[in-house]
């Protein structure tokens, strides 16, 4: 019979998202085949599978919940707004307020998606010239998270300069500040204009630093291992977002399949996103979680690397060809360290204390296996399979 305890810290102030948001987004599994029932099923599954007990809390609806102007589609056609300018949902979402209330009653939070342009990526109604109406509407529904996707805004400004890139996000920030509700504000514009350098300035709580991620090694590794330049700009309340987790059953709607990432690649995916303090948004069908995926998403020692209150994003501390070591300082003074093998064959990867800014003996704990490996001096090395990783935490020997 074991015991586990820790100090609970309450932080009160104007800054929200003090740790990276954790939740689920509908796009990578359902795409435009989303409806109210699938949202309810995802919320129920988040509770039933116990994800809620490990910090997962947002249920986010992506594109395709609105109507389409000039469309004869019986589901999405018809007027897109009422006589007061308030946006209307399509027939797949007959009562957004009731749906949000149901999600809240499960102890979860609700997120939504829209574009600053006249149309969304999928040509549904956007916020253009109705930004305050939409902010007020989201508050009325009880929304907790807004993904604001540049997409259709490209028809307004085709070759934007830096100030034009900022403008729609500044304006929606002003609108959100006028409503009486805390809403996590996620800027989705794919890293244009080095958004990590000014995302905080325009009031973002997180911002995409990349294009969309498919479930391939090339995409995931290409995104994850290119994030060192963004590291200085992450801090509590403001996070670099590498897009959603492509684990479990995905498909972009309506047909689902297993992720194309191998198990080792999924360990690398999760380890790297946690080290990078990225928002963690599950992209798979939560009603079909297998044991491997559930374990991947509920290892508290791994999730703690992502949720550490210091909010320090990992940096690449060494690289030898396709072998890399990334490390981040934790609030308690320990270091979370990822040893990665991007090569095509097994390799030994070594983390040197000199690269990590450490001296003397260090107690090493394997976070995926939740096992102490012993005390090491000067370095730690591990044999790592193709596209795999080892995620460890280093403590001074007398640390608890």
Choosing from 283, 307, 331, the residue where a domain stops is 307
Show which residues are catalytic.
149, 212
Taking Cα atoms as reference points, which of 25, 148, 147, 43 lies closest to residue 99? Answer: 43
DSSP state, residue 78: S
133, part of any domain: yes
Domain count, the chain: 2
Pairing of strands 361-366, 371-377: antiparallel
Domain assignment present for residue 109? The answer is yes
pLDDT the model gives residue 398: 74
Q: 300 with 320, same domain?
A: no
> CB-based contacts of 321: which residues, under 8 Å, 6+ apart?
343
Beta strands 257-258 and 239-241 are unpaired
Please tell me whether residues 191 and 283 are part of one structural domain: yes
Answer with the one of 307, 331, 357 that is the final residue of a domain: 307
Torsion of CA 274, 195, 320, 303, to 10 degrees: 0
Alpha-carbon gap, residue 330 to 313, rounded angstroms: 10
Q: Are residues 50 and 93 in the same domain?
A: yes
Distance CA 322, CA 340 (A): 8
The tokens for 366 are 């394997």
CATH number for 385:
2.60.40.1180
pLDDT at 70: 81
CA distances from 31 to 25, 63, 305 (A): 10, 7, 30
Q: Residue 255 and residue 313: Cα distance in Å, rounded?
A: 35
Q: What's the maximum distance between 2 C-alpha atoms anywhere in the chain?
A: 71
pTM across the whole model = 0.96
Domain, as residue range, for 347:
315-395
For residue 400, the model assigns a pLDDT of: 59
> What is the SS3 assignment for 158-183?
CCCCHHHHHHHHHHHHHHHHCCCCCC
pLDDT by residue for the chain (400 residues), tens digit each?
556 667 778 888 889 999 999 999 999 999 999 999 999 999 999 999 999 999 999 999 999 999 998 888 999 999 999 999 999 999 999 999 999 999 999 999 999 999 999 999 999 999 999 999 999 999 999 999 999 999 999 999 989 999 999 999 999 999 999 999 999 999 999 999 999 999 999 999 999 999 999 999 999 999 999 999 999 999 999 999 999 999 999 999 899 999 999 999 999 999 999 999 999 999 999 999 999 999 999 999 999 999 999 999 999 999 999 999 999 999 999 999 999 999 999 999 999 999 999 999 999 999 999 999 999 999 999 999 999 999 999 998 876 5
Residues contacting 21, CB < 8 A, separation 6+: 57, 58, 145, 184, 186, 205, 206, 239, 279, 280, 281
The reply to whether 16 falls in a domain is: no
For residues 336 and 299, membership in a common domain is answered with: no
Q: Check: CB of residue 134 under 8 Å from CB of residue 141.
A: no
Peptide bond into 254 cis (omega under 30): yes
Residue 30 has a pLDDT of: 97
Instruction: Tell me, yes or no, whether 239 and 303 share the same domain.
Output: yes
């Amino acid at each position: 019979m074991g015991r586990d305890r820790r100090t609970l810290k309450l932080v009160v102030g104007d800054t929200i998202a003090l740790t990276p948001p954790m939740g689920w987004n509908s796009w990578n599994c359902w795409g435009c085949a989303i409806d109210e029932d699938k949202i309810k099923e995802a919320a129920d599954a988040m509770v039933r599978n116990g994800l809620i007990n490990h910090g997962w809390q947002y249920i986010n609806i992506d594109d395709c919940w609105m109507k389409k102007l000039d469309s004869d589609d019986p589901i999405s056609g018809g007027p897109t707004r009422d006589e007061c300018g308030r946006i209307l949902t399509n027939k797949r979402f007959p009562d957004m307020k009731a749906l949000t209330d149901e999600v809240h009653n499960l102890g979860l939070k609700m997120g939504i998606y829209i574009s600053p342009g006249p149309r969304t990526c999928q040509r549904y109604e956007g916020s253009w010239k109705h930004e305050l109406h939409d902010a007020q509407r989201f508050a009325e529904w009880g929304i907790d998270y807004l993904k604001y996707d540049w997409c259709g805004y490209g028809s307004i400004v085709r070759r934007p300069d830096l100030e034009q890139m900022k403008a729609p996000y500044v304006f929606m920030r002003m609108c959100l500040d006028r409503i009486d509700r805390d809403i996590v504000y996620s800027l989705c514009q794919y890293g244009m204009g080095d958004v990590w350098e000014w995302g905080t300035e325009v009031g973002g709580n997180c911002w995409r630093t990349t294009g969309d991620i498919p479930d391939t090694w090339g995409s995931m590794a290409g995104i994850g291992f290119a994030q060192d330049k963004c590291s200085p700009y992450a801090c509590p309340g403001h996070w670099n977002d590498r897009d959603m987790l492509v684990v479990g059953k995905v498909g972009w709607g309506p047909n689902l399949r297993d992720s194309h990432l191998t198990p080792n690649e999924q360990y690398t995916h999760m380890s790297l996103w946690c080290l990078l303090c990225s928002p963690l948004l599950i992209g798979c069908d939560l009603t079909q979680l297998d044991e491997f995926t559930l374990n991947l998403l509920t290892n508290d020692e791994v999730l703690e690397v992502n949720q550490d209150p210091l909010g320090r994003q990992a940096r690449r501390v060494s690289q030898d060809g396709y072998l890399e070591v990334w490390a981040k300082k934790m609030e308690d003074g320990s270091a979370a360290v990822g040893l990665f093998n991007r090569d095509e064959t097994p390799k030994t990867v070594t983390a040197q204390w000199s690269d990590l800014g450490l001296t003397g003996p260090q107690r090493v704990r394997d976070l995926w296996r939740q096992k102490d490996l012993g005390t090491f001096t000067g370095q730690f090395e591990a044999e790592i399979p193709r596209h795999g990783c080892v995620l460890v935490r280093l403590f001074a020997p007398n640390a608890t």
